[in-house]
Amino acid sequence: MEANKHEIIKCTSCGKEFKFYNIVGKCPHCSNWITFECKNCSKTISAEDYIKNDNRCPGCNSPVSLPGTDTVIYKKPGEQMGKLAVWVVMFIIGLVIVALVRRC
């Protein structure tokens, strides 16, 4: 097994290689959806069909991973949402404490 931190993705449309998506599933060079093979049924899937099908193969409906989706870009939105949720909860707790203190 190679210990590559970032998988190099080769665009199936223009043939150029890249490490990160600007839009997940789209080649940053030519803006076309990349295609890849399902390891389960060997069907060639377009990243667009794969994302529309809830990150599953549209042929056999088994979970497959888009090449390079374990990159930082893919994980970022979830982490930001988690931090925001913590701040919202802390703000609500703060309001409740202020309301309780004022009652006394």
Residue 19 binds to Zn ion (criterion: CB under 5 A): no
**Burial of 58: CB neighbours in 10 Å, binned 0-12, 13-18, 19+:** middle
Contact 17, 67 (CB under 8 A): no
Q: Any contact of residue 86 with Zn ion (CB under 5 A)? A: no
The residue among 30 and 85 lying less far from Zn ion, judged by its C-beta, is 30
Question: 33-72 mask for Zn ion (x: CB under 5 A)?
Answer: -----x-xx-x-------------x-xx------------
State the nearest-atom distance from the C-beta of 75 to Zn ion, in Å: 23
Q: In this structure, what are the phi and psi dihedrals at residue 39, rounded to the nearest 5 degrees?
A: -75, -20
